[in-house]
Structure 1
Protein backbone atom coordinates (compact mmCIF):
# COMPACT_ATOMS: atom_id res chain seq x y z
CA UNK A 1 0.00 0.00 0.00
CA UNK A 2 1.26 3.48 -0.71
CA UNK A 3 1.47 4.39 2.92
CA UNK A 4 -1.33 4.85 5.38
CA UNK A 5 -4.46 6.30 3.68
CA UNK A 6 -5.66 3.12 1.99
CA UNK A 7 -5.21 1.16 5.19
CA UNK A 8 -7.80 3.41 6.84
CA UNK A 9 -10.66 2.03 4.69
CA UNK A 10 -11.14 -1.17 6.68
CA UNK A 11 -10.80 0.86 9.89
CA UNK A 12 -13.66 3.11 8.82
CA UNK A 13 -15.79 0.04 8.17
CA UNK A 14 -14.93 -1.28 11.63
CA UNK A 15 -15.86 2.08 13.16
CA UNK A 16 -19.24 2.01 11.44
CA UNK A 17 -19.88 -1.52 12.67
CA UNK A 18 -18.57 -1.19 16.21
CA UNK A 19 -19.20 2.48 17.02
CA UNK A 20 -17.91 3.56 20.43
CA UNK A 21 -16.41 0.10 21.04
CA UNK A 22 -13.70 0.86 18.43
CA UNK A 23 -11.16 3.69 18.38
CA UNK A 24 -10.61 4.87 14.82
CA UNK A 25 -7.99 7.28 16.14
CA UNK A 26 -5.97 4.40 17.63
CA UNK A 27 -6.42 2.49 14.36
CA UNK A 28 -5.09 5.46 12.39
CA UNK A 29 -2.14 6.03 14.71
CA UNK A 30 -1.35 2.32 14.41
CA UNK A 31 -1.19 2.69 10.61
CA UNK A 32 1.25 5.57 10.91
CA UNK A 33 3.37 3.68 13.44
CA UNK A 34 3.55 0.67 11.12
CA UNK A 35 4.71 2.76 8.19
CA UNK A 36 7.59 4.42 10.07
CA UNK A 37 9.95 1.58 9.14
CA UNK A 38 9.21 1.72 5.38
CA UNK A 39 9.49 5.51 5.49
CA UNK A 40 12.92 5.30 7.09
CA UNK A 41 13.88 2.65 4.53
CA UNK A 42 12.85 4.93 1.67
CA UNK A 43 14.78 7.84 3.13
CA UNK A 44 17.93 5.76 3.63
CA UNK A 45 17.59 3.73 0.41
CA UNK A 46 17.38 0.46 2.37
CA UNK A 47 17.13 -2.76 0.33
CA UNK A 48 14.26 -4.06 2.52
CA UNK A 49 11.44 -1.68 3.39
CA UNK A 50 9.17 -4.07 5.29
CA UNK A 51 11.35 -5.67 7.93
CA UNK A 52 10.76 -6.66 11.51
CA UNK A 53 7.90 -4.24 12.19
CA UNK A 54 5.87 -5.93 9.45
CA UNK A 55 5.58 -9.24 11.31
CA UNK A 56 2.58 -10.32 13.35
CA UNK A 57 4.74 -10.60 16.46
CA UNK A 58 6.01 -7.01 16.17
CA UNK A 59 2.52 -5.83 15.20
CA UNK A 60 1.24 -7.05 18.57
CA UNK A 61 3.93 -5.12 20.43
CA UNK A 62 3.44 -1.97 18.32
CA UNK A 63 -0.33 -2.23 18.77
CA UNK A 64 0.02 -2.33 22.55
CA UNK A 65 2.35 0.67 22.49
CA UNK A 66 -0.07 2.61 20.25
CA UNK A 67 -2.95 1.85 22.64
CA UNK A 68 -0.91 3.43 25.44
CA UNK A 69 0.16 6.54 23.51
CA UNK A 70 -3.16 7.23 21.77
CA UNK A 71 -4.75 9.28 24.60
CA UNK A 72 -1.93 11.82 24.97
CA UNK A 73 -1.25 12.01 21.22
CA UNK A 74 -4.87 11.77 20.15
CA UNK A 75 -6.47 14.20 22.58
CA UNK A 76 -5.31 17.36 20.73
CA UNK A 77 -6.27 15.81 17.38
CA UNK A 78 -9.74 14.94 18.63
CA UNK A 79 -10.24 18.37 20.18
CA UNK A 80 -9.29 20.06 16.91
CA UNK A 81 -11.61 17.73 14.98
CA UNK A 82 -14.46 18.62 17.33
CA UNK A 83 -13.72 22.36 16.94
CA UNK A 84 -14.00 22.02 13.17
CA UNK A 85 -17.23 20.06 13.44
CA UNK A 86 -18.77 22.66 15.75
CA UNK A 87 -17.60 25.53 13.53
CA UNK A 88 -19.44 23.98 10.59
CA UNK A 89 -22.49 23.24 12.78
CA UNK A 90 -21.94 19.50 12.60
CA UNK A 91 -22.20 18.99 16.36
CA UNK A 92 -24.11 15.76 15.78
CA UNK A 93 -20.85 14.19 14.55
CA UNK A 94 -18.98 14.99 17.79
CA UNK A 95 -18.24 11.87 19.80
CA UNK A 96 -17.22 11.21 23.36
CA UNK A 97 -13.70 12.18 24.37
CA UNK A 98 -13.46 9.53 27.06
CA UNK A 99 -10.71 7.00 26.64
CA UNK A 100 -11.34 3.45 27.75
CA UNK A 101 -8.93 0.55 27.31
CA UNK A 102 -11.06 -1.85 25.24
CA UNK A 103 -11.73 0.47 22.24
CA UNK A 104 -8.11 1.66 22.30
CA UNK A 105 -6.77 -1.90 22.29
CA UNK A 106 -9.22 -3.04 19.62
CA UNK A 107 -8.40 -0.07 17.40
CA UNK A 108 -4.64 -0.27 17.83
CA UNK A 109 -4.31 -4.05 17.53
CA UNK A 110 -6.68 -4.36 14.59
CA UNK A 111 -4.74 -1.52 12.98
CA UNK A 112 -1.33 -3.14 13.27
CA UNK A 113 -2.46 -6.68 12.51
CA UNK A 114 -4.56 -5.65 9.50
CA UNK A 115 -1.62 -3.59 8.27
CA UNK A 116 0.59 -6.68 8.15
CA UNK A 117 -2.19 -8.71 6.52
CA UNK A 118 -2.86 -6.13 3.79
CA UNK A 119 0.83 -5.50 3.11
CA UNK A 120 1.42 -9.26 2.94
CA UNK A 121 -0.81 -9.34 -0.13
CA UNK A 122 1.43 -7.03 -2.13
CA UNK A 123 4.98 -6.68 -0.78
CA UNK A 124 7.54 -9.37 -1.61
CA UNK A 125 9.93 -8.26 1.15
CA UNK A 126 7.46 -9.14 3.94
CA UNK A 127 8.00 -12.12 6.23
CA UNK A 128 4.82 -11.84 8.33
CA UNK A 129 5.46 -14.99 10.38
CA UNK A 130 9.10 -14.25 11.20
CA UNK A 131 11.00 -15.39 13.20
CA UNK A 132 9.31 -18.78 12.66
CA UNK A 133 9.01 -18.61 8.87
CA UNK A 134 10.47 -16.53 6.04
CA UNK A 135 7.53 -17.39 3.77
CA UNK A 136 4.84 -14.97 2.69
CA UNK A 137 2.09 -17.25 1.44
CA UNK A 138 -0.38 -14.38 0.97
CA UNK A 139 1.73 -12.57 -1.63
CA UNK A 140 -0.28 -12.13 -4.82
CA UNK A 141 -3.34 -14.04 -3.57
CA UNK A 142 -5.59 -11.28 -4.90
CA UNK A 143 -4.94 -8.74 -7.67
CA UNK A 144 -3.61 -5.35 -6.52
CA UNK A 145 -6.61 -3.64 -8.08
CA UNK A 146 -8.95 -5.73 -5.89
CA UNK A 147 -6.91 -4.84 -2.82
CA UNK A 148 -6.96 -1.14 -3.71
CA UNK A 149 -10.69 -1.02 -4.45
CA UNK A 150 -11.52 -3.15 -1.43
CA UNK A 151 -9.82 -0.61 0.82
CA UNK A 152 -11.40 2.35 -0.96
CA UNK A 153 -14.90 0.84 -0.93
CA UNK A 154 -14.70 -0.30 2.69
CA UNK A 155 -13.67 3.24 3.61
CA UNK A 156 -16.50 4.84 1.64
CA UNK A 157 -19.16 2.45 2.86
CA UNK A 158 -17.82 2.70 6.41
CA UNK A 159 -17.81 6.52 6.35
CA UNK A 160 -21.34 6.62 4.97
CA UNK A 161 -22.50 4.07 7.55
CA UNK A 162 -20.91 6.02 10.40
CA UNK A 163 -22.49 9.31 9.26
CA UNK A 164 -25.92 7.69 8.92
CA UNK A 165 -25.56 6.18 12.42
CA UNK A 166 -24.57 9.50 13.96
CA UNK A 167 -27.45 11.25 12.19
CA UNK A 168 -29.92 8.60 13.42
CA UNK A 169 -28.63 8.88 16.99
CA UNK A 170 -28.92 12.67 16.90
CA UNK A 171 -32.39 12.51 15.38
CA UNK A 172 -33.56 10.00 17.97
CA UNK A 173 -32.15 11.99 20.89
CA UNK A 174 -33.66 15.27 19.63
CA UNK A 175 -37.09 13.57 19.37
CA UNK A 176 -36.75 12.26 22.91
CA UNK A 177 -36.15 15.78 24.21
CA UNK A 178 -39.33 17.17 22.63
Structure 2
Protein backbone atom coordinates (compact mmCIF):
# COMPACT_ATOMS: atom_id res chain seq x y z
CA UNK A 1 0.00 0.00 0.00
CA UNK A 2 1.47 3.33 -1.04
CA UNK A 3 0.70 6.17 1.35
CA UNK A 4 1.15 9.62 -0.14
CA UNK A 5 0.98 12.92 1.70
CA UNK A 6 -0.98 14.92 -0.88
CA UNK A 7 -1.36 18.63 -0.64
CA UNK A 8 -1.32 19.47 2.98
CA UNK A 9 -3.98 17.49 4.91
CA UNK A 10 -1.68 15.18 6.83
CA UNK A 11 0.82 17.97 7.40
CA UNK A 12 -1.84 19.73 9.47
CA UNK A 13 -1.75 17.16 12.28
CA UNK A 14 1.46 18.46 13.84
CA UNK A 15 0.23 22.03 13.42
CA UNK A 16 -2.98 21.27 15.30
CA UNK A 17 -0.90 19.67 18.05
CA UNK A 18 1.30 22.80 18.21
CA UNK A 19 -1.82 24.98 18.47
CA UNK A 20 -3.08 22.82 21.33
CA UNK A 21 0.21 23.12 23.18
CA UNK A 22 1.08 26.74 22.46
CA UNK A 23 -2.38 28.28 22.34
CA UNK A 24 -2.29 32.00 21.54
CA UNK A 25 1.46 31.94 20.94
CA UNK A 26 0.92 29.98 17.69
CA UNK A 27 -1.13 30.88 14.61
CA UNK A 28 -2.70 27.78 13.12
CA UNK A 29 -3.97 29.91 10.25
CA UNK A 30 -0.41 30.93 9.31
CA UNK A 31 0.65 27.29 9.60
CA UNK A 32 -2.13 26.21 7.22
CA UNK A 33 -1.31 28.94 4.70
CA UNK A 34 2.35 27.90 4.87
CA UNK A 35 1.41 24.30 4.05
CA UNK A 36 -0.59 25.42 1.03
CA UNK A 37 2.23 27.69 -0.15
CA UNK A 38 4.72 24.82 0.11
CA UNK A 39 2.61 22.54 -2.04
CA UNK A 40 2.19 24.99 -4.93
CA UNK A 41 5.38 23.68 -6.57
CA UNK A 42 4.29 20.00 -6.50
CA UNK A 43 0.84 21.00 -7.77
CA UNK A 44 2.34 22.85 -10.72
CA UNK A 45 4.68 19.93 -11.31
CA UNK A 46 1.81 17.44 -11.32
CA UNK A 47 -0.20 19.57 -13.73
CA UNK A 48 2.74 20.07 -16.09
CA UNK A 49 4.11 16.51 -15.87
CA UNK A 50 7.43 17.56 -14.30
CA UNK A 51 9.76 14.68 -13.39
CA UNK A 52 10.67 16.33 -10.06
CA UNK A 53 7.81 17.54 -7.90
CA UNK A 54 9.75 18.55 -4.80
CA UNK A 55 12.39 20.92 -6.09
CA UNK A 56 13.80 24.16 -4.77
CA UNK A 57 10.80 25.09 -2.63
CA UNK A 58 11.28 21.89 -0.65
CA UNK A 59 14.68 22.91 0.71
CA UNK A 60 15.30 24.47 4.11
CA UNK A 61 16.65 27.76 2.69
CA UNK A 62 13.59 28.19 0.45
CA UNK A 63 11.29 27.15 3.29
CA UNK A 64 12.66 30.03 5.37
CA UNK A 65 11.95 32.51 2.57
CA UNK A 66 8.48 31.09 1.92
CA UNK A 67 7.75 31.16 5.66
CA UNK A 68 8.67 34.84 5.86
CA UNK A 69 6.50 35.60 2.83
CA UNK A 70 3.58 33.73 4.38
CA UNK A 71 4.05 35.67 7.62
CA UNK A 72 3.68 38.90 5.63
CA UNK A 73 0.57 37.83 3.70
CA UNK A 74 -1.23 36.07 6.56
CA UNK A 75 -2.73 39.16 8.25
CA UNK A 76 -4.44 40.60 5.14
CA UNK A 77 -5.56 37.15 3.95
CA UNK A 78 -6.37 35.83 7.38
CA UNK A 79 -8.63 38.51 8.79
CA UNK A 80 -11.50 37.84 6.35
CA UNK A 81 -11.05 34.09 6.88
CA UNK A 82 -11.29 34.54 10.65
CA UNK A 83 -14.33 36.80 10.36
CA UNK A 84 -16.09 34.13 8.28
CA UNK A 85 -14.99 31.40 10.73
CA UNK A 86 -16.42 33.42 13.63
CA UNK A 87 -19.73 34.05 11.81
CA UNK A 88 -20.12 30.32 11.20
CA UNK A 89 -19.35 29.47 14.82
CA UNK A 90 -21.79 32.10 16.03
CA UNK A 91 -24.48 30.86 13.66
CA UNK A 92 -24.11 27.35 15.10
CA UNK A 93 -24.08 28.76 18.66
CA UNK A 94 -20.48 27.78 19.30
CA UNK A 95 -19.58 31.23 20.64
CA UNK A 96 -17.03 29.80 23.09
CA UNK A 97 -14.89 28.81 20.09
CA UNK A 98 -14.96 32.26 18.44
CA UNK A 99 -11.53 33.85 18.05
CA UNK A 100 -10.78 37.55 17.67
CA UNK A 101 -9.57 38.47 14.19
CA UNK A 102 -6.26 39.53 15.72
CA UNK A 103 -3.17 38.20 14.02
CA UNK A 104 -0.23 39.14 16.22
CA UNK A 105 3.20 39.21 14.61
CA UNK A 106 4.90 36.63 16.87
CA UNK A 107 2.30 33.86 16.61
CA UNK A 108 1.99 34.44 12.86
CA UNK A 109 5.76 34.23 12.38
CA UNK A 110 5.98 31.06 14.49
CA UNK A 111 3.06 29.47 12.62
CA UNK A 112 4.41 30.34 9.17
CA UNK A 113 8.01 29.25 9.81
CA UNK A 114 7.09 26.07 11.67
CA UNK A 115 4.70 25.31 8.81
CA UNK A 116 7.29 25.55 6.06
CA UNK A 117 10.14 23.95 7.98
CA UNK A 118 8.03 21.03 9.23
CA UNK A 119 6.76 20.56 5.69
CA UNK A 120 10.30 20.01 4.43
CA UNK A 121 11.08 17.73 7.37
CA UNK A 122 8.00 15.53 6.85
CA UNK A 123 8.39 15.37 3.07
CA UNK A 124 12.08 14.47 3.49
CA UNK A 125 11.00 11.26 5.17
CA UNK A 126 9.03 10.05 2.16
CA UNK A 127 9.88 11.71 -1.16
CA UNK A 128 12.89 10.46 -3.11
CA UNK A 129 13.07 13.63 -5.22
CA UNK A 130 13.82 15.79 -2.17
CA UNK A 131 17.14 17.54 -1.57
CA UNK A 132 16.32 19.39 1.65
CA UNK A 133 19.84 20.71 2.24
CA UNK A 134 20.38 21.99 -1.29
CA UNK A 135 22.46 23.91 -2.37
CA UNK A 136 24.97 22.46 0.10
CA UNK A 137 24.08 18.81 -0.39
CA UNK A 138 22.01 16.76 -2.81
CA UNK A 139 21.55 14.00 -0.23
CA UNK A 140 18.34 13.22 1.60
CA UNK A 141 19.53 11.31 4.64
CA UNK A 142 16.06 11.18 6.19
CA UNK A 143 14.40 9.33 3.30
CA UNK A 144 12.83 6.18 4.70
CA UNK A 145 14.10 6.86 8.23
CA UNK A 146 10.72 5.78 9.59
CA UNK A 147 8.11 3.53 8.02
CA UNK A 148 5.48 5.30 5.91
CA UNK A 149 2.71 3.92 8.09
CA UNK A 150 4.34 5.44 11.19
CA UNK A 151 4.59 8.81 9.45
CA UNK A 152 0.95 8.62 8.34
CA UNK A 153 -0.41 7.58 11.73
CA UNK A 154 1.85 10.00 13.59
CA UNK A 155 0.38 12.89 11.60
CA UNK A 156 -3.18 11.62 11.99
CA UNK A 157 -2.87 10.98 15.74
CA UNK A 158 -1.15 14.30 16.42
CA UNK A 159 -4.02 16.02 14.62
CA UNK A 160 -6.78 14.12 16.41
CA UNK A 161 -5.23 14.46 19.87
CA UNK A 162 -4.26 18.07 19.21
CA UNK A 163 -7.78 18.93 18.06
CA UNK A 164 -9.28 17.35 21.16
CA UNK A 165 -6.95 19.27 23.50
CA UNK A 166 -7.37 22.51 21.54
CA UNK A 167 -11.16 22.28 21.57
CA UNK A 168 -11.25 21.45 25.28
CA UNK A 169 -8.90 24.34 26.09
CA UNK A 170 -10.93 26.70 23.90
CA UNK A 171 -14.19 25.58 25.47
CA UNK A 172 -13.02 26.00 29.06
CA UNK A 173 -10.91 29.16 28.68
CA UNK A 174 -12.39 32.44 29.73
CA UNK A 175 -13.51 34.46 26.71
CA UNK A 176 -11.36 37.36 25.53
CA UNK A 177 -7.70 37.87 24.76
CA UNK A 178 -7.30 34.93 22.41
CA UNK A 179 -5.57 35.03 19.04
CA UNK A 180 -6.01 32.90 15.93
TM-score by length of 1: 0.94
Question: Deviation at 1:96?
Answer: 2.2
Which structure shows the higher helix fraction? Answer: 1
Higher-Rg member (1/2): 1
Q: What is the number of residues matched between the two proteins?
A: 171
Task: Confirm whether residue 124 of structure 1 aligns to residue 128 of structure 2.
Answer: yes
* 1:51-101: CA deviation from partner (whole Å, max 9, x where unpaired): 000000000000000000001111111111111100000010011221211
User: After the TM superposition, which parts of structure 1 deviate over 6 Å for at least 4 consecutive aligned residues?
Assistant: none
User: 1:147-166 residue pairs with structure 2 within 5 A?
Assistant: 147-166=151-170
Unaligned runs of 5+ in 2: 176-180
* Cross-structure match for 1:139: 143
What's the C-alpha RMSD, in Å, of the aligned pairs? 0.8
Q: Does structure 1 conserve the Cα–Cα contact (< 8 Å) formed by 2:82 and 2:99?
A: no
Q: 2:36 aligns with which of 32, 39, 52?
A: 32
Note the alpha carbon deviations across 1:17-73, whole angstroms, 9 max, x for none.
Answer: 000100000000000000000000000000000000000000000000000000111
> 2:91 aligned with 1:96, yes or no?
no
TM-score, length of structure 2 as denominator length:
0.93
